[in-house]
């Protein structure tokens, strides 16, 4: 027997606000139990994806994440997705794109949690010469 990933949990200061950011980022919805000022909120997973759970903690973020999400844009290109997420409140930390189109954007969500934007499935053949 094996386990599956039920949820990816984020410790944060404002669960509802961070859940709203990630719901927009990944195309989900904040579960109705999540309310502004509440101690937890989650974005339900779909299509076999794990839910994203946000829990209020008293301490702030103090170091680099040991685990982070790598996003693969759908229906858009990596750089367009970076601009969309900046518009939602993300911050660009580092441009790690490489010559030839490989690489990624290192980003932070509104509370400073790092994540990456990889190339989209549509870009994989252009960059690697193979199908996604």
Q: Is 63 within a domain?
A: no
pLDDT tens digits, 3-20: 788 899 999 999 999 999
Q: Is 1 within a domain?
A: no
Residues 124, 78 share a domain: yes
CB of 42 closer than 8 Å to CB of 19: yes
pLDDT tens digits, 21-46: 999 999 899 999 999 999 999 998 77
pLDDT tens digits, 57-69: 998 888 888 889 9
The per-residue pLDDT for 132 is 59
Angle made by CA atoms 57, 61, 65, in degrees to the nearest 5: 115
Cα dihedral 120/123/124/127 (nearest 10): -130
pLDDT tens digits, 81-106: 999 999 999 999 999 999 988 999 99
Q: Is 75 within a domain?
A: yes
Q: Is 115 within a domain?
A: yes
């Amino acid at each position: 027997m094996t386990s599956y990933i039920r949820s990816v949990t984020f410790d944060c200061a404002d669960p509802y606000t961070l859940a709203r950011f990630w719901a927009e980022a990944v195309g989900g919805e904040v579960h109705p139990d999540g309310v502004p000022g509440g101690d937890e909120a989650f974005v339900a997973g779909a299509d076999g994806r794990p839910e994203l759970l946000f829990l209020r903690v008293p301490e702030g973020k103090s170091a680099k994440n040991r685990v982070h999400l790598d996003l693969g844009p759908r229906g858009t290109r990596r750089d367009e997705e970076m601009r969309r997420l900046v518009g939602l409140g993300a911050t660009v930390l580092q441009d790690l794109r490489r010559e030839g189109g490989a690489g990624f954007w290192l980003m932070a969500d509104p509370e400073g949690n790092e994540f990456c934007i990889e190339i989209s499935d549509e870009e994989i053949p252009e960059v690697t010469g193979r199908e996604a």
